[in-house]
A = this chain, B = another copy of it.
């Protein structure tokens, strides 16, 4: 019996998590898994209801669950809310509360999806990367100062910082991820400028010594931003800090084609959280046209990493592939010659194929 906490969040969050739960129920039936689902609020929706984007009840439920399926948070509606109560605080808070230290972002581009990439087909086809982003350290959670006067000038600051143990843990996970893949890890930093990057680099080198089957190399973040566009196929696993990971994983996602289809897993020591990489898209909320595949593939990652149900995960992933091959597309990916479906229909088609 596995307990899944569903946090739809804001905007299209409800539509896409509903779609993913439908698929999870179908695969549970087929693979004989016992899953229960419990829904909780977070983000702007929670702020409107309770005055906080992350109610304690949501945190408690998430902590007590076997896995969290998250939709998306945010929207212009809350633009003028106090920064400490903005929707984003929900996801940042959950990361910290659950100790979600690693964000795994696969970017895989099968031939059938090359057309959605902004990159030329010959450059992008065959790309298969996993980005491992440190998620609860670095400048995101370092000390901050919103405003201080120094020598008559107002300034603000944020502390970028990494400890050996933080880097050790994330590089280890990257090496283990690579062991199940091509065995190549690229550690990305800015060691020619930053002290924290130099600590990162020397720690990564030490950890990699323990993984004789792994080939570790280092790359500067500016160069990585270039290489992702020039030779995405050359990458296997990328490991990097919170801020660089934020930028590079979004760049990689978009280069890979539709961000509507990209899943992610945020790994914690007890519970982990799964969410599509796209946002809450207030502009299309309620129209039933959002692409649920990113969330459905995130649910597959939940099956794999949190429930250890590799078969069920593969089952979902294959069903998605089949439905895409059959030519079904939500509005974001629709072109002449395809069959246009709504969010719900897409989920139903995928469930059927399971």
Contacts and interface: CB of A to CB of B under 8 A. Distances in A.
B247 A230 contact: no
A287 interface: no
B229 A247 contact: no
Interface stretch (A188-196, A265-273, A291-299): A188-196
Interface string A210-236: 000000000001110110011000000
Contacts of A193: 88, 92, 139-140
B153 A164 contact: yes
Nearest to A196: B156
A229 B226 contact: no
Interface in A115-168: 118-120, 123, 139-140, 142, 144-147, 150, 153-165
Nearest to A193: B140
Given A157-B142, A159-B157, A223 B250 contact: yes
A83 interface: yes
Contact of A199 (B120, B147, B190, B255): B147
B146 A195 contact: yes
A222 B150 CA distance: 30
Contact of A194 (B139, B162, B195, B255): B139
A243 to B, nearest CB: 7
B118 A229 contact: yes
B154 A199 contact: yes
Nearest to A160: B158
B118 A158 contact: no
A254 interface: yes
A253 interface: yes
A194 B158 contact: yes
Given A118-B120, A250-B222, A259-B226, A157 B160 contact: yes
Nearest to A87: B192
Question: Chain B CB within 10 Å — which of A158, A164, A248 has the most?
Answer: A158
Q: Which of A150, A223, A243 is most buried by chain B, counting CB atoms within 10 A of its CB?
A: A243
Contacts of A160: 139, 157-160
A111 B38 CA distance: 55
A119 B228 CA distance: 12
Contacts of A155: 161-164, 196, 199
A53 to B, nearest CB: 12
Contacts of A254: 225-226, 229-230
Interface of A: 83, 86, 88, 92, 118-120, 123, 139-140, 142, 144-147, 150, 153-165, 190, 192-196, 198-199, 221-223, 225-226, 229-230, 243-244, 246-248, 250-251, 253-255, 259
- 10 smallest beta-carbon distances between A and B, as pairs: A156-B199, A157-B161, A155-B163, A225-B251, A144-B195, A226-B254, A222-B250, A156-B195, A154-B164, A153-B163
Given A144-B194, A222-B247, A225-B247, 17 more contacts: A83-B198, A88-B192, A118-B229, A145-B195, A150-B163, A154-B164, A157-B160, A157-B162, A158-B195, A190-B243, A222-B246, A222-B250, A225-B251, A226-B251, A229-B229, A244-B247, A251-B251
